[in-house]
Amino acid sequence: MDNLTVTSLRPRDRSRHAAPQVFEHLRESILSLALAPGTVLNRLALQKEFGLSSTPIRDALLKLQEEGLVEIFPQHATVVSPIDLPLAHQAHFLRRSLELEIVRTLALTPDRRLVARLHGFLAQQQALMEAEDFEAFTMADHAFHQHLYEAARMHDLWTLVRSRSGHIDRLRRLHLPTPGKAQNIVHHHRLIVQAIADGKPDEAQQQLREHLSGTLSHVDEIKAKFPGYIRA
């Protein structure tokens, strides 16, 4: 098992409560794979890095455990969990179910201002794809989908989806550098936006289905490339 390199974490914002920040920093590092499956999270090292007592560190790790992102072995170690395929499939099912209804709703009542904002996200994604900045591209991808939820007045459901998406997000992050993957994401985003703009709910749903199915159809390839990262 690898040990945590605490110098990779950002300084703590002392204007905010401590435990949520530790959780956010560690979660971001786990989802980006900066903290790979099998990495040991040393509580004393985290306390030193953030200048905190044991309580907020413990609380942050327990919240990560609730999302299935770490495994806590009492009196032994806390370890970043492998990617759990059943949990990834469940998260995919949840997101697909919600977003099929969201894009249908948006396409039934096209809004030019929404379409203009979505085209702004597409331009950002295109630039990040060309720069091969996969971390920023992933954030832009999330921002695009989050905006769909907000436009449909379903913001709380986005929060729910994000809290369940740790395993599928890591799987997608492993797949993203594959040649053509980022291009396919942008291509499908464009087709979804066009279907919304044209008032074609069935087309919007079809493009979303194809968009969200990409990574799980390549699980065997990802497992072969990253042995030890995935638990079936």
- Nearest partner of 186 among 131, 109, 106, judged by Cα: 131
Instruction: Summarize pLDDT for 4-57 with one digit per residue, the tens.
Output: 544 445 555 666 678 888 999 999 999 999 999 999 999 999 998 888 899 999
Tell me the two tokens of residue 208: 């979303």
Into which CATH architecture does domain 84-231 fall? Up-down Bundle (1.20)
pLDDT at site 19: 87
DSSP strand pairing (70-73 vs 77-80): antiparallel
pLDDT at site 2: 52
Q: What confidence tier does 176 reach under pLDDT thresholds 50, 70, 90?
A: very high
Residue that is written with structure tokens 């306390």 in the block: 47
Tell me the two tokens of residue 186: 């942008």
Say how far apart CA 119 and CA 140 lie, in whole Å: 12
DSSP strand pairing (230-231 vs 83-84): parallel
pLDDT at site 192: 98
% of the chain at pLDDT higher than 70: 93
pLDDT at site 7: 42
pLDDT at site 167: 96
More confident residue, 76 or 156: 156
Are 6-81 and 84-231 in the same CATH fold? Answer: no
Residue ranges of the domains in the chain? 6-81, 84-231
Into which CATH architecture does domain 6-81 fall? Orthogonal Bundle (1.10)
Say how far apart CA 33 and CA 3 lie, in whole Å: 13
pLDDT at site 77: 87
SS (H, E, C) the chain: CCECCHHHCCCCCCCCCHHHHHHHHHHHHHHCCCCCCCCEECHHHHHHHHCCCHHHHHHHHHHHHHCCCEEEECCCEEEECCEEHHHHHHHHHHHHHHHHHHHHHHHHCCCHHHHHHHHHHHHHHHHHHHHCCHHHHHHHHHHHHHHHHHHCCCHHHHHHHHHHCHHHHHHHHHHCCCCCHHHHHHHHHHHHHHHHHCCCHHHHHHHHHHHHCCCHHHHHHHHHHCCCCEEC
CA separation, residue 88 to residues 77, 105, 123, 124 (Å): 24, 26, 29, 27
pTM score of the predicted model: 0.88
pLDDT at site 13: 62
Instruction: Summarize pLDDT for 73-118 with one digit per residue, the tens.
Output: 987 889 999 999 999 999 999 999 999 999 999 999 999 999 999 9
